[in-house]
Structure 1
Amino acid sequence: MITDPLAPMPPGQNRQAGVAGLVGVDELDFSDELVTGEAVVLELRPASFITRALAVSADVIVTVVGILLISWLFYATTGNIDPAAGSALGLVATLAVLIGIPILVETLTRGKSLGKWLAGLRVVRDDGGPIRARHALIRGLLAVLEIYWSLGAIALVASLLNRRGKRLGDLVAGTYVIRERQPRQSPPLIIMPPHLAPWVRNADLGRLPDPLARACRQFLARASRLAPEARQRLGWSLAGQLGELVAPPPPPGTHPEDFLAAVLAERRDRDYARLWRESQQRAALRNSRAAASPLSATGFGLPDHD
C-alpha cells in the first residue's frame, strides 16, 4: 500500500486504491454553505431558536394589535349592519390580517417580516435563493396551525428537532431562516510555504475543480480545530486528490498541508497576475484610443483587428 499520496504512482496502479479508506471532502460539512464560481464559500448561518422566537413574538404582537384595531373600527362603523354579514366581514378581515398581509409582506420583501427585519433575519430557500409567493403562502397557512392554534407548541417541537431550526411551514415549503446581519469575516489568507515556492512557481497546476479548491481552502482554515486523527486523514486525502492535477509532484517528504497551501497560494497569485495584465491591457487600449486621431478607426472606437 502506498503511504504517501504525493509520491508518483507505479505503472498500472490507481491512485484511488492507494488512498483507500481515507476520508473525502464530505467530512467537511458544507451543508449550510454556498460556493461561488471562484470557490469562495458563502456561509448562510441558520438563525438561532431564541432569535427566531423574538422575531415571531414581534410579528404576533403586531398581528394581534392589527386584529383588535380592525375589530374596533369595524364595530364602530357598522353598527346597523346585518349580524350575519357583519360576522362574515369580520372573519374576512381577521383572515386578511392573520394570513393575507403576512404572506404579501414576505413575498414583497423576499422573506422578511417586521419581526425578522428587527431581528436581522430573512427567509430563504434551501438553496439560499430568495423565496417566492408559493413559499410565503405555505408558511403563512401553516403558521395558523403551528403558531396561533397550538400557541407555538408545534413550531417549538419542529424547530428543536431540526438542525436548521425549521418549523413545519419551512419543512413543507423548503425554506429556512438565516441571520442576515452578521459580522463580515475575511477569508483566511493562504501563506506560501517558502521551501515550496521554487517548485510551485514552475509547476503545472492544471484545472483545479471548484469543489476541491473549496474543500482545500476550508480544510486549511479549520485544520487547527480538527481532531489530530481526522486532520491527518483529511489532509492526506485532499493532497492525494490534488496531486492528480499537479505536475511535477512536490519534493519528497512534503507535508500535505504545506502542499495544499503552496498550490492554493500559487493559484491565487497567478489569478491576480492575470487580472493585473488584463487591466493593464484595457488601460493601454483606452489610452491609445484617446490619443488616436478622430478620423482613424480606433478613434471612432471600432474594434481592432489582429
Structure 2
Amino acid sequence: MARAADLGRTRGRDARLQRILVTPEGVALDVHVAPASARAAALFIDLGALLGMYIAFVLAMLLIVWTFEWADMPALPESVLGFLAVLFIIGTFLARNAYFLYFELGQRAATWGKRAVGIRVAARDGGRLTAEAVIARNLLRDIELFLPVMFMTSSGLQGSLSEFAAWAGLAWVGSFALFPLLNKDRLRCGDLIAGTWVVQAPKAVLAGLVADGTAQREQVAGLADDRYRFGEAELSVYGEYELQTLEQVLRTANPEAMETVAATICGKIGWPPPIGDERAFLEAYYTQLRARLERGMRFGRRRANKNS
C-alpha cells in the first residue's frame, strides 16, 4: 500500500504540474497543480466580484442615509450613525473573508473565480479539506494582501511617511505575490500554513449519469448491473467526499487504483471483491451512491463524508 510520504512525487512529462496524491486509504490519484496564471486569473475575478458586492453594499448604506434626508430629518440620530458605522465595519470584514470562506467550505471547494478557471482547493495530505484549513489559509490573506493595500490607499498619512508606506506596501504585496513562483507546488503562504494547495478541478465526466426525479431512477436502473444492486445500509457508509474520490478514480481509470478502491468498498459493505470486474462494480456503486446523496440533499440532508 502506498504511503502518504509519496505525496508530491511527480509523474509524466510536466513535472511542474503533475503530481500523485495518495489518500489516507492508500489510493494513488493523479492531480495537476494549478499554474500561477490560473490562480492569478481566479483572484482577479474574485476581487471583481468582491468589488461589485462592496459597491452594492455602499449604495445600500447611502440609500439609508437618503431615506432619512427624504424624511426631512435635520440630521441622522447618533444611534443610526453608530449602527451604520458598525454595519460598515462588519460588511468590510465579510467582504474580505466570508466570501472566500463560504465558497471554499462548500462541496466544490472553489470560489466563483476558481470555478471559472477550473481549479479548486484541496488538502495536500489527500484527506478531506477541513474547515480549520480553509479558515487558516483565508485569514492569512489579510496579511498577504488586504493589510498592505490598506496602507497604500490610506489617506491619513501625509508627506514622506505616506510615500514610504506606499512603497513598503507595494513591496510587501509583491513578495507574497511572487511566492507561488518560487516553489514547485505554486503554494502561497496561506497554503503552507493550512496544509492545502490549489489543483485543477477534475472534469465531472460522469455528471450526466444521474438526473433528477423519474429520469434519475430510470438511469440508475439502466446503468446499474443486475449483479451490483446495493441496499440503503451499503450505500450509507460513504458521503460526498468519498463520492468525489470515487469519481476521480473512475476518471483516471488507473487499474491499480480501481482494484484498491473496489476492495476497500467491498470490505466496508461485506461484499466479495469483484476480481476482474472492478470498473463495472465501481460505476454501479458510484451511480447509486450519488443518487442516494442527491435525494438526501433535496430533503435538506447532507453527508459531507463517511465520518459525518
TM-score (norm 1): 0.48
TM-score (norm 2): 0.48
Higher relative contact order (CA 8 A, sep 6+): 1
